[in-house]
Amino acid sequence: MPVTANEELLDYATSCALPTPWAQFTLHAFVEHATGKEHLAMTLGDIGDGEPVLARVHSECLTGDVLFSQRCDCGAQLEGALRKIAAEGRGILLYLRQEGRGIGLVNKMRAYRLQEAGVDTVEANLQLGFHADARNYTLCQPMFAQFGITRLRLMTNNPRKIDALEKLGIEVAERVPLLVNRNAFNNSYLNTKEAKLGHLMTPLAEAVAEDGEL
């Protein structure tokens, strides 16, 4: 399965079946030339027919995706996106290895310590000498091109992500909100993403968990 575009950026490595609680996806691996990082795509159904594809571009969050952290909404968004793709019967999720909005795991933990001292998630990144959001979506173009995808129904709350993809020539035909319940640990984080990073979040009253917690 040869890389179809911008092959100077990354190589397509391999694929395999990946059964999940929601559907059996196909897992694809890419290797980035510049860093050696291994990025992933999960696909389901016929996605190369030219119609807008339900898609999620998800940046790695080890603490949220794997360790069940309630500091963020990442793990819940990952599961929610896979559920939506499975329910639709077709779609794609890109999993980009850019932990901590691009600052890495150790620095994200340092940012958490600063947050524990009273600063918000944006201020913590800035105090560490990083941008508020250092993620880069350039690799999305060749990854989507691998599957013949140029038009998306993108699951995101982040208008900046839409702008970044459209600058790469990827049409976002529809934004599909991906909202998850708040809790006592991520409420301030979600408010900061809305106020300082421009994320489109549901009002707090509509996001209270079923058990009544924030």
* Domain span at 28: 10-98+135-179
Residue 213 or 10, more confident: 10
Asked if residue 101 belongs to a known ligand binding site, the reply is yes
Q: Is 99 annotated as a binding residue?
A: yes
pLDDT of 205 reads 37
pLDDT at 104: 93
Mean pLDDT of 101-130: 92
Residue 208 assigned to a binding site: no
In a 10 Å sphere around its CB, with 0-12 CB exposed, 13-18 middle and 19+ buried, how is residue 132 labelled?
middle
Mean pLDDT of 156-185: 90
61 is in an annotated binding site: yes
Is 183 within 8 Å of 214 (Cβ atoms)? yes
pLDDT of residue 208: 36
- Does this model's pTM top 0.75? My answer is yes
12-21, 34-43, 123-132: which range is least confident on average?
Answer: 123-132
Dihedrals φ, ψ of 193, to 5°? -60, -40
CA distance 56 to 93: 5
Q: Is residue 68 part of a domain?
A: yes
Residue 53's nearest CA partner among 191, 187, 147, 163 is 147
Instruction: Establish if 83 belongs to a structural domain.
Output: yes
Residue 190 resides in a domain: no
Tens of pLDDT, residue by residue over 15-40, are 999 999 999 999 999 999 999 999 99
Does 69 reside within a domain? yes
Query: Does the annotation place 77 within a ligand binding site?
Result: yes
The one catalytic residue in 65, 120, 135, 182 is 135
CATH number of residue 58's parent domain = 3.40.50.10990
The one catalytic residue in 113, 133, 153, 160 is: 133
- Looking at residue 164, what is its pLDDT? 93
Q: For this structure, is 135 an active site residue?
A: yes
The tally of domains found in the chain comes to 1
| Integer Cα distance of 110 and 116 in angstroms | 10
Whether 211 sits among the annotated catalytic residues: the reply is no
